[in-house]
Amino acid sequence: MIRRALLSVSDKRGLVELARALHELGVELLSTGGTAAALTGAGLPVVQVAAYTGAPEILDGRVKTLHPKIHGGLLGRPTPEHQAEMAAHGIAAIDLVVVNLYPFEATIAKPDVTLADAIENIDIGGPSMLRSAAKNHERVAVVVDPADYGAIVDELRAGGGALGGPRRLALARKAFAHTAAYDAAIAAFLGSIDDAAADARDAAPARRPLPDVASWQWRRLYDLRYGENPHQQAAFYADASSPLGGAIAGRPTIAGAEVLGGKQLSYNNILDLDAALGLCLELGEPAAVVIKHNNPCGVATAASCVDAYVRARDADPVSAFGGIVAVNREVDEALAALLVETFLECVVAPGFSEGARAVLGQKKNLRLVAAHGEWAPKAGGHAWTVRTVSGGALIQTADTGLVGARAAKVVTRRAPTAAELTDLDFAWRVAKHVKSNAIVFCKDGATIGIGAGQMSRVDSVKIAELKARTPLAGSAVASDAFFPFRDGVDVLARAGATAVIQPGGSVRDEEVIAAADEHGIAMVFTGMRHFRH
């Protein structure tokens, strides 16, 4: 039975409504600071924690709830021994704790935050109460998420003011996850700054991109039917630090996307959707991307996504069968009519018109994924990528850099024409998202041949040439890393390419440049490699 509740929250969404419902159920309300002021302002009777404990808030509010009447009231078990000891010390049971913590992550997200400000926003009393209540969830209910308020009130009303054991266990599990994520954020921040920051607490500390200790929390969104293969178990998780797995820095994510129709996404669907979204976000013009087995098989830009999709699909229609499509504009009815011509697994876009959904709905198993956020090229950011290996993990900053073709260094006698520069820039953006070794032929803003994931670069060139369905004469080529020998340049020249973009940096660069000059090819070096293993 819930007779006494302690409420102390930074996130005040739904607070007054919850407190009013508790008051109507006869629950005594204890509170602190701004939470107490909000409840008093709403006309609700509140007992200040300082009055309840007989101990005032001290040390600028750093000590408010660290008191035996609070923690004894939370940790006391319903045993005769505990009950007698609590009575001897004048400690009453607290049956419900509603707490969420100082906004530490929001504080450190400010670019000019000082170490002093960050430290002051480390909550002490809140996590202590959460841990005490969660440990004693046999008797105490602990709530950290405003999204749970409605269900809790409904159960209290239906249960005569009591919450069942399964609910209390679920809430405790969530509370411990909440405090673990909070501590992980603190550890990550402190691990990302140099020791010298200790002597400059009122300045914004310089931060390293990779901390000493890396901690993440992933919240399970849903179980998958199986993993990469039917004998493997799998589930889809979202980054717990991003609300509902939503947009990161305004950019859409697959974890935060809305599935509008079709079967549940599979493990492989999610990987391919992420690859399609990542490439499409590189392209500002109306664009379409067709992905198969995590590699693009067709990419194009055009005046409209309808035209872009036709060009992307036709670049490799055999591979497009059973593929994943991304477009960076809302799918309209005209585009939908083209999409249903080919068997596709998924389509991801910023949105779908009602007419498009009606057309695409004819394909019952086609997954429609609306990824909300800013679909536009955007450099910078501090996102990490994580790959597990036996006994550990590889962590790196995300590959958000890109040296465009117009900023690259011309290394051959002939400089690229304006049209070649445009195609080189497009091919370079695509190559960044192709498994290494990667070779991309393109012309007029569309790929016409892609060689991916080969053990030798010259084989990638040959495969790209083999897969081309249109003549390669006059095409531009991107290579994700340098050509180690001239043979790759010789092959792409025979295929008809006239311009090449690559990072450079080989010990045989002069030999490769000489080969390009022999063939009349324009070549530029970016100085930036884009391996994708």
Residues marked active site are found at 135, 293
Bridge pairing between strands 323-327 and 287-292 = antiparallel
For 443, residues 6+ apart whose C-beta sits below 8 A from its C-beta are 423, 470, 472, 474, 475, 476
The total of other beta-carbon atoms located within 10 Å of residue 52's CB is: 21
Which one-letter amino acid corresponds to residue 333? E
Count of Cβ atoms closer than 10 Å to residue 185 Cβ: 20
CA separation for the pair 349, 228 (Å, rounded)? 24
Nearest to 326 by CA among 313, 341, 343: 313
Distance CA 178, CA 218 (A): 11
Q: For the residues of 168-204, what is the DSSP string, one character each?
A: HHHHHHHHHHHHHHHHHHHHHHHHTB-GGGGG-TTSP
Can you give the length of the chain in residues?
Answer: 533
DSSP-derived secondary structure letter, 480: S
Tell me which amino acid residue 255 is: A
Q: What is the distance between the alpha carbons of residues 378 and 397, in angstroms, rounded to a whole number?
A: 15
Is the distance from CB of 250 to CB of 262 less than 8 angstroms?
no
Q: Do 497 and 477 form a contact (C-beta atoms < 8 A)?
A: yes
The CA distance from 533 to 175, in Å, is 38
